[in-house]
Chains A and B, each alone.
Chain A
Amino acid sequence: MSHPAAWVFIAPALGVIGVFFLLPVAAGFALSLTDFDIYALADFRNLRFVGLDNYVRMLETPLFWQALGNTLYFVIVGVPLSIGLSLATALLLHSRLALFRPFFRTALFAPVVTTIVAVAVIWRYLFHTRYGVVNHALEAIGIGPIDWLGDPLWAMPTIILLAVWKNFGYNMVIFLAALQAIPETLYEAARIDGASWWRQIVHITLPMLGPTLLMVGILTTSGYFQLFAEPYVMTQGGPLRSTVSVLYFMYEEGFKWWNFGAASAVALMLFGLVFAVTWLLMRLSRRVAA
């Protein structure tokens, strides 16, 4: 039986998503093929179709390549670090030896719900070269002051640390739930066979977490590709453009210089990249499973 009322129920949500998301996405494709700039913003008649010019010009812009490199650095280092810490803390929390579990879980999760802008402001001072607590602590063990946010070598690692600190709790909770779903009998059997703790992790826990790992990997990777607020607040893309991310580049192109055509091309390139990486991760996991 079909319910005609169903359409009335889905119409408001579908309308919003259609008009304010799907339609703009489709328009984004079209926009990326035009020279939409500040003159077109003033008067649509100044708009011209330029084919793939925006994409070609983007690939010829050194700053775009730098932004892409910075973003890949952030993703390639940040994602494994983030997921590794999530998994390690989930295993610790899941251990029967852990006391005060609810307290630890809440404390480790707290950064997830904080506002990234506020946290970036805090970190800017924690990592202050002269008065920052971090450098002060490092000095105590004999490591000289590091110019965390002023040195192109250290700015991105500092942002990675912030992202890992802020995000690992999210995946930790997901891993914890997945760990609790693994039947205890598997471990009992392994113990009877005399398997060590490490062998149990490698041969039972990790394989059983496979699907969760894949999902977490995909979601975290696509999230990390969208780095923006951290460099916006902490470094403004500096020093020496070492923390300009693709999204930061898009934001400046689009909403600082009003080159909507070029900015749309950047956004679509990022989408393509995220899509390709997702596809690759799924293929890779299928091969590992087989």
Chain B
Amino acid sequence: MRPRAAVVAVNGVLAGLAAVTLFPLLWMLSVSFMPAGAASALPPPLVPAEPTLVHYRELFLNAGMLRWLANSLLLALAITAVSLAFNTLAGYAFAKLKFRGRERLFNVLIGALIIPGQVAMMPLFLLLREMGLVNSYGGVVVPAMASVFGIFLVRQYARTLPDELLEAARVDGASEWRIFVSVVVPLLKPVLASLAVFTFLAAWNDFMWPLIVLTDHELQTLPVALATLSREHVQDNELMMAGSVITVVPVLVLFLALQKYYIEGLLLGSVKG
């Protein structure tokens, strides 16, 4: 193939693929601004003839979207904050603090990664019910307060920190807690940013567990509420697209803003330990 033809072919295919990945998202945005019923026409309209915010108004004023948005935000933030703290402490200890049985314990945790979450779901539901956490925010947050993946990610990164730095602080008489707060955490910032974005997005997008544990309409997260809405409003095309926009846009914007950290975390997490 001549170079110029090859350039056109490679970029043409990439552009075509990008169009396929972006089209559904752009179409969602466009339809969400169409008046009710306008999208059910032939040929399917691509842009709204008369843009309207009526569906957003309906969702926020009558359907309770604001509450679900707040729930999603609150739960994702709480999970991110707590699990970041717990995973960082543990990941650092597994990387840099020597203790008996460290490697064996870590291997047990890594081994547990292969167990799919649903094996735990039924007993976890019963446990949380005993604790009075079913149908409460706690039912979503508490089981997510630490994760093997998070510990693994922090450990991977913390292992690259120079031991001399920690030893020097110890010689100076700093306590382990002091060293962690003023030496280790600042150095871990890049991986903490990655883990924070990862955790937030996963918590926001999570569906099955919140669906199980939150039965009260008022307490539900956006994905759960959207799934319920979509079963009730099968015909309300445009309304559902507005609901999808509200659910997807926050995470898309967050990803675009912090893409670098997200991709770095993804790669760090996928390297074999």
User: Measuring CB to CB, which residues of chain A are less than 8 angstroms from any residue of chain B?
Assistant: 1-7, 9-10, 12-17, 19-25, 27-28, 31, 36, 89, 92-93, 95, 97-100, 103-104, 106-111, 113-119, 121-126, 130-133, 136, 165, 169-170, 173-174, 177, 211, 215, 219, 222, 225-226, 228-229, 232-233, 236, 247, 250-251, 254-255, 260, 263-264, 267-268, 270-271, 274-275, 278
Contact = CB atoms under 8 A, between A and B. Distances in A.
A215 B272 contact: yes
Contacts of B100: 2
B165 interface: no
A133 B40 CA distance: 10
A183 B3 CA distance: 23
A260 B78 CA distance: 29
> Which 5 A-B residue pairs are closest in the complex by CB-CB distance?
A27-B123, A24-B120, A9-B93, A13-B90, A6-B97
A93 B266 contact: no
Contacts of B266: 170, 173-174
Interface in B97-132: 97-100, 102, 105, 109, 112, 114-127
SS class, residues of chain B in contact with chain A: helix
A267 B116 contact: yes
A16 B243 CA distance: 34
Contact of B89 (A12, A93, A124, A271): A12
B92 interface: yes
A133 B148 CA distance: 42
A267 B14 contact: no
B77 interface: no
A98 B14 contact: yes
Contacts of A170: 266
Given A125-B241, A169-B21, A118 B223 contact: yes
B22 A124 contact: no
B21 A107 contact: yes
A9 B90 contact: yes
Nearest to A89: B17
Interface stretch (B47-55, B56-64, B186-194, B203-211): B203-211
A253 B70 CA distance: 31
Contacts of B92: 9
A42 to B, nearest CB: 11
A115 B251 contact: yes
A4 B231 CA distance: 54
Interface string B170-210: 00000111001000000000000000000001001101100
A264 B119 contact: yes
Given A107-B21, A250-B118, A136 B43 contact: yes
Given A108-B18, A122-B27, A264-B122, A117 B127 contact: no
B215 to A, nearest CB: 10
A121 B226 contact: yes
Interface core residue of A28, A109, A113, A270 (most chain B CB under 10 Å): A113
B98 A3 contact: yes
B232 to A, nearest CB: 12
A77 B169 CA distance: 55
23 contacts: A2-B98, A3-B97, A5-B177, A9-B90, A10-B94, A12-B90, A24-B122, A24-B127, A28-B123, A89-B17, A92-B14, A111-B24, A113-B201, A113-B251, A115-B223, A117-B207, A117-B224, A117-B227, A121-B243, A122-B25, A123-B24, A136-B42, A233-B230
B252 A13 contact: no
B116 A122 contact: no
Nearest to B247: A118
Given A10-B93, A271-B115, 16 more contacts: A6-B102, A10-B89, A24-B121, A27-B126, A110-B22, A113-B252, A115-B247, A116-B223, A122-B24, A122-B244, A125-B240, A173-B266, A228-B208, A260-B122, A267-B116, A267-B118
A4 B40 CA distance: 67
A55 B21 CA distance: 42
